[in-house]
Homo-oligomer: A and B are copies of this chain.
Amino acid sequence: MVKNETSSALKIIPLGGLHEIGKNTCVFEYDDEIILLDAGLAFPTEAMHGVNIVLPDTTYLRENRHKIKGMIVTHGHEDHIGGIAFHLKQFEIPVIYGPRLAMAMLEGKLEEAGVRDRTELRTVRPRDVVRLGKHFVVEYIRNTHSIADSFTVAINTPLGVVIHTGDFKIDHTPVDGENFDLQRLAEHGEKGVLCLLSDSTNAEVPGFTPSERSVYPNLDREFGKATGRLFVTTFASSVHRINMILQLAQKHNRAVSVVGRSMLNLIAHARNLGYIKCDDSVFHPLHAVRNMPDEKVLILTTGSQGETMAAMTRIANKEHPHIRIRPGDTVLFSANPIPGNTIAVVNTIDKLMIQGATVVYGRDKGIHVSGHGCQEEQKLMIALTRPKFFVPFHGEHRMLVKHAQTAQSMGIPAENMIIIQNGDVVELTENAIRVGGKVPSGIELVDTTSSGMVSAKVLQERQRMAEEGIVTIAAAIDWNGKLLAKPEIHLRGVVTSVERSLVQKWVQQRIEEILTVRWSEFTQPGE
């Protein structure tokens, strides 16, 4: 790489993922070149009526489309790749690099959106080094996370190396045997890292996240206890967890039926690529397991977060076309509720219990661990990379603040750290880090059923109608200001204790009054 002799700063501009968990999208810019790191989506809050998907504002990318050299994908979670298909409709990304599993999932998404031909997808392996444009050379460093094939990246820039951790925990006994490549991190630390951008998700949690493998004996115990049908629900993307569940199904002689499109999809990709090693004979369609003895059946489903349309939720609501809970069933929730989903999850659990299932849930059961590292792992990341500058990434404000405090406790000076928001333009030089400006950083709300953007105005109208309802009045008035017929009144979502006919009468009276008194005013100037 040619060392650039001008005094250009490296710009780091997160468009999503800061002050939130979701829609991680980061811009790296140097001179006339931009590379992107991940482009995820977020899920709407309850107040975003009719919205399915939240995307970052990409005004900055649209305006600077000619600079975009390509994208680096760290792993296949929706909050890292879910936005790409939408963005490709708006601006060009000449090439996208990423791990095999993420690229397989992304390819499906792009095909579904009809934009597969708008970019080139290139898969990477651990320690692969890829060049984007003149200024960026990116090294993929294997890390450990809840999805398989996940990476930390070292971005070599004209000013030095910037390490973006991606999402990580430090799992010394990973289920797939793919160890975190701590050696490469250490080597970068030895040579000098200009800046570290690190995952802050669990910055408020002391200690270490237990290894994914620690879940195995606890799941094994619960498998052993179940005497009837066994249901297990987890995140569709948790490859390692699904792997262990499938191993346990074989150990406990249960035929597996997978229910839920996203999970079927992931399992197909993960088996193709060897991340899930499991014989075809393990899997059975739902209609086949229905005739097997209860104690020989495992149904693996989506819906661990109480999502309305997911399989486990529909089963609990007695809305699933093929599955009803019956006494003797056991349901394992191998996932903790994400804040905001708690109510939906506990309601689902209660409904399953009322229908007779034994439900196993809660932290004390040990059947779920986080995919993100806690404070001690965040410290280890800083200790290995020894960065000059530090920016906490991937987290809500409180988490970023806590992560910065952790870094400060390890000797990184306060002036070498900044807490930033989406849209902040971080200007990084060899000697200083600062926020040098701001680009548009709002959100775009997508209603996938109408495949359109939901504007703030539309949202306000929806909110208002949701709270108050709407009254429509149609009245035909002749040229003399007389009603030609009874006005038509429609109430939708309106609370009223009076009869509709009475409302009709009141409205008619009021219209007639107004017509009598003020018709002349209405008709004077224009007509």
Interface residues of A (CB under 8 A from B): 19, 45-47, 49-50, 204, 339-340, 342-343, 346, 349-350, 353-354, 359, 362, 396-398, 401, 447, 450, 452-454, 458-459, 461-463, 465-470, 472, 474, 476, 492-497
Contact = CB atoms under 8 A, between A and B. Distances in A.
Contact of A465 (B396, B470, B497): B470
Contact of A50 (B346, B359, B467): B467
A58 to B, nearest CB: 17
Nearest to A445: B495
A495 B453 contact: yes
A49 B493 contact: yes
Given A342-B340, A343-B339, A468-B50, A398 B349 contact: yes
B495 A458 contact: yes
A495 B465 contact: no
Contacts of A398: 346, 349-350, 353, 359
Nearest to A457: B493
28 contacts: A19-B350, A19-B354, A49-B466, A49-B467, A50-B466, A50-B493, A50-B495, A204-B362, A339-B342, A346-B396, A349-B398, A353-B397, A452-B495, A453-B495, A458-B493, A458-B495, A459-B493, A461-B493, A462-B465, A462-B466, A465-B466, A465-B469, A465-B470, A465-B492, A465-B493, A470-B470, A472-B472, A476-B476
Contacts of A340: 342-343
A472 B459 CA distance: 18
Nearest to A460: B493
Contacts of A45: 343
A447 B495 CA distance: 8
A396 B342 CA distance: 13
Nearest to A421: B354
A490 to B, nearest CB: 8
B458 A470 contact: no
Nearest to A204: B362
A452 B497 contact: yes
Given A50-B466, A466-B466, A495-B50, A350 B397 contact: yes
Nearest to A359: B398
Contacts of A453: 495, 497
Given A339-B343, A470-B492, 19 more contacts: A19-B350, A45-B343, A46-B46, A49-B467, A50-B469, A50-B493, A340-B342, A340-B343, A346-B396, A346-B398, A353-B397, A452-B495, A453-B497, A461-B469, A462-B469, A462-B493, A463-B466, A465-B465, A465-B493
B397 A354 contact: yes
A506 to B, nearest CB: 16
B452 A496 contact: yes
A454 to B, nearest CB: 5
A454 B462 CA distance: 18
A50 to B, nearest CB: 4
